[in-house]
A and B are shown apart, each in its own frame.
Chain A
Amino acid sequence: MSSATAVGRPARLGLPRWAAPAGAAVLFAAAYLVFRDTATLPHNKEAAPFLAVTELREWIDDNRNDNPLFLYFLNYIRLFVGGLYDAFHTVLLALGWPGITGVMGALGWLSGGRWIAALAVGGVSAFGLLGLWESSVDTLALVAVAVLLSLAVGIPLGVWAGLSWRVRRVLTPVLDVMQIMPTFAYLAPLALFFHIGAPAGAIATMIYAIPPAIRITALAISEVSPTAVEASASLGATGRQTLFKVYLPLARSTMALAVNQTIMMALSMVVIANLISAPGLGGDIIRGLSRAQVGIMLPAGVAVVIMAVVLDRMTMALSRRDAHAATSRADLAGAGALAVAGLALIPVLPRVWPENLTVNVVAEVNDAVRWAETNWYPVTTFIKDVTTRALLNPLESLLTSAPWWLVALAVLAAAWRVSGLRPALTALACLLAIALLGLWEHSMMTMSTVAVAVLVTLAIGLLLGVAAARSPRFSAVQRPILDAAQTMPAFVYLLPALALFGTTRFTAIFASVIYAVPPVVRLVEDGIRAVPATVVEAAASAGSTPRQLLWKVQLPMARRAILLAANQGIVMTLAMVVIGGLVGAGALGYDVVLGFSQRTDFGMGFVAGIATVLLGVMLDRITQGADRRSSPRKRKFT
């Protein structure tokens, strides 16, 4: 019945096509009324899969230091990554804040000139100013290790995939699944194999950050002009020579984008990695969460955003750089001066940022939040309660009281209609697996939350996207905001949500809406803009009003982009709703959090991680087919 919207949507398109889905909807409604509260699968904390995993974990805990797999393999990886982290951490600590500031500034200068250098220096100083020097250094070291490892593994794999379509074909589905996997899902298995702490955090971050490294590198390699490659081969170059003299140099600027994306992904994961005791800014954020003090979280959140912006601008500058412009002597001198100054000041200045230079805003922010809470309380509570009572609770009770087979049928029907038979079967398989794993009820609850959030996201996204497509001025104002929003790590969105709504399911909905709206807006706007100008001209010359133009020409022609936006929105929303388990979203996300908090619930948390992946694949399959199918006409034949 979650499919009600999906099944109902095409009804608007015309009467003949309207009948079948409506009939199906009536049928489902009738079936629900008859079979309600039968064949439900209520949550049981002692489901067999949970206990099995908990037992496995106990066994691993007992044998971690005896079993050869751990003794000779996994523990070495842990040790290696841990050693790498310690090395980075030690170097960063030794550099101290003058050293780090100088070196970052110099790197910034080399990558993009003095403005980027200024940004880097300012950013690094901000860590100190916010009083978060030590946590920032921890995070920086963790990100450095994770990104380094991601690139060390990801770039060769990406090059290989770019050169061989066979490798690409094997990797693509794996990467697809990795990219719709919510961050939380990575944590439990890693804790199982690599224990907790910085190494486990770095490995989790690395695995999360690796897909763009592979994917964009592969893209960069496959985009290299085939003639240049052929020319090189025709002159008798060996494969190795062609790789190093043609492929890699030509793919360079796109590959800088891979580095950029990898860093961004790593930054959104390092914070969550704190759940398995990885050090860094995540600790401050989780501390704020567990004290319900936005004042503690905000500076840490700001520090992560600053780190993201600085690293983003540095790597973007690198990828945008004019290919032939050699670094000028002035730039070299500037960068050198900065680095030398920084390094020279190491013995003079304290290594840790002096405490009297920090700005402590904890109390002020807490006061502001408290003020907002008191003064906006009636409004926020009203919004929260109305949404929860009118949308969330009914949907949740619908999904949890419907027989499981009816929900499965509805998913199958919706996916089949929107995406075709194969995706529908995949979606059905995922749903059945969820049932077998014993997380049916919690998955249904999470799905209700996601559904409400997606509904709101799409409504806002369409509105803003259409507005931007129709008004260049509005678009110009909105673009930089969207750019900035997309640089921010996911959990940062929890902060305002938490400040306004406390810990409830609605908080997660609010956070996921602001998280998922930017890409949706962008896809919708681009989709409408991509409608050929000649078509728009033709329609306008036929005397269409702007309204008719929108409804009869632009929106139908942007259908694929809009469906893609829906798909993206759903995947992102799910990821955020699961993270929302930290702020009261309950269900699957909370199960994962609980799995790390209570040893007896480890199995449930682990399995909940798997269930979120299955749920993600399912929701993706239900919607993804839509944008891959070329025309509505095709639907009749399937």
Chain B
Amino acid sequence: MGDSHSAAITVEGLWKIFGPKAQKVLDSEDRHLDPAALREKTGCTAAVRDVGFEVRPGEVFVVMGLSGSGKSTLVRCLTRLIEPSAGDITIGGENIGRASPARLREIRRHQVSMVFQHFGLLPHRKVIDNVAYGLEIQGTPRAARHERAEEILSLVGLDGHADAYPDQLSGGMQQRVGLARALAVDPQVMLFDEPFSALDPLIRRDMQAEVIRLHREVGKTLVFITHDLSEALKLGERIAIMRAGSIVQLGTAEELVGAPADDYVADFVRDVPRSHVLTLRWLCRSPEPGESLDGPELPVSTVIRDAIAASSASAHPIRVVDGDELAGVVDRVDLLSFLSGQETPVRAGA
């Protein structure tokens, strides 16, 4: 899983400004204008504004935002598919901004691969040749790359479709091909640009499960772009919420829902059933004197929803433990008042 001390990806002070006078804008104070005013004044669009974050090796890092928030530009800047205007990007300890074109190609070939919203498959090639494309351009001999592609195909559950053409597959299967293509080159980092937003809800759920499974099996570092909050909550170990090119909050799902940084984030997460996201850590309190400590024991990371059953099975309050230490207790009254405090019924699936 790599060295836990050094981050897999580090981004510092990243800017991307589109337009004829990008560099000039960047050097002036205009860059702090809000996007609409900036466009009005200079004709430039600031898609990514002073973004910085770190992604730990093996982590699933989600960037979430509405369309136009700059998240797709951000992910493309990571491997300079879009050239950043300013900022430092380090992947696997190597400064991407300073890489020569040849070195950059090497990084794209071996270290970072990407899955696209509209799949980006080559319709004139069979599935197997699509999957093997990355190996082909590296110069891998045909037999070797086909063997590898077959392996990956069975990993993503596409056994027996090697000789089909992309347009003969359903959307979900096509994206599995896209996934396989990205996996085939065995990268350390995989970038997902809204990979499932073009799919039907049911298929989307399958694919999300697939990503979770693959992440468990192959253990890559994933950067996942989405505009779907429930997807972000489901997949992301940490989530960065973007708005107008900037990150407004970065944290775990629990932090976002439990302590939104501003009204924007709060508004965003308002409809999320908090009992599905928050853990007992948020609810537990010190035991009152004389309170029974014979109830069932649950770890602090237990989602509140899952604590309900335990609570109803026992007359005693739940003992919430963090490791071996007692973190606090939660009783039925606490749970009921928490649940009733929700202004809206459970809607978003989690």
Contact = CB atoms under 8 A, between A and B. Distances in A.
The answer to whether A and B touch directly, with their CB atoms under 8 angstroms apart, is yes
Contact of A227 (B106, B107, B119, B134): B119
Interface in B122-159: 122-126, 133-134, 136-138
Contacts of A233: 81, 108
Contact of A234 (B79, B118, B121, B138): B79
B105 interface: yes
Contacts of B20: none
B81 A234 contact: yes
A275 B263 CA distance: 79
Contact of B124 (A227, A231, A237, A250): A250
Interface string A316-353: 00000001100000000000000000000000000000
B137 A230 contact: no
Nearest to A324: B165
Interface residues of B, number: 34
Main secondary structure of the interface of B (DSSP, over half): mixed
Interface in B16-34: none
Contact of B116 (A227, A237, A241): A227
A230 B120 contact: yes
B181 interface: yes
Contacts of A249: 122, 124-125
B113 interface: yes
Interface in B179-200: 181, 185, 191
Given A225-B118, A324-B165, A236 B124 contact: no
A228 B113 CA distance: 14
A559 interface: no
A324 B110 CA distance: 30
Contacts of A232: 120, 122, 133, 137
Nearest to B119: A227
Nearest to B133: A235
B114 interface: yes
Contact of B107 (A225, A236, A237, A250): A236
A608 to B, nearest CB: 45
B81 A236 contact: no
Interface in A234-271: 234-238, 241, 245-246, 249-250, 252
A236 B134 contact: yes
Interface residues of A, number: 21
Contact of A225 (B104, B108, B120, B181): B120
Contacts of B138: 236
Nearest to B163: A324
B109 interface: yes
Given A236-B134, A236-B137, A231 B123 contact: no
Contacts of B119: 227, 231
A246 B114 CA distance: 17
B108 A234 contact: yes
Nearest to A234: B114
Contacts of A323: 123-124, 165
A228 B120 contact: yes
A235 B134 contact: yes
A230 B122 contact: no
B124 A252 contact: yes
A26 B132 CA distance: 74
Contact of B122 (A236, A238, A246): A246
A250 B167 CA distance: 13
Given A234-B113, A241-B137, 5 more contacts: A228-B120, A232-B137, A236-B138, A246-B122, A323-B165
Interface of A: 225, 227-238, 241, 245-246, 249-250, 252, 323-324
Interface of B: 76, 79, 81, 104-110, 112-114, 116-126, 133-134, 136-138, 165, 178, 181, 185, 191
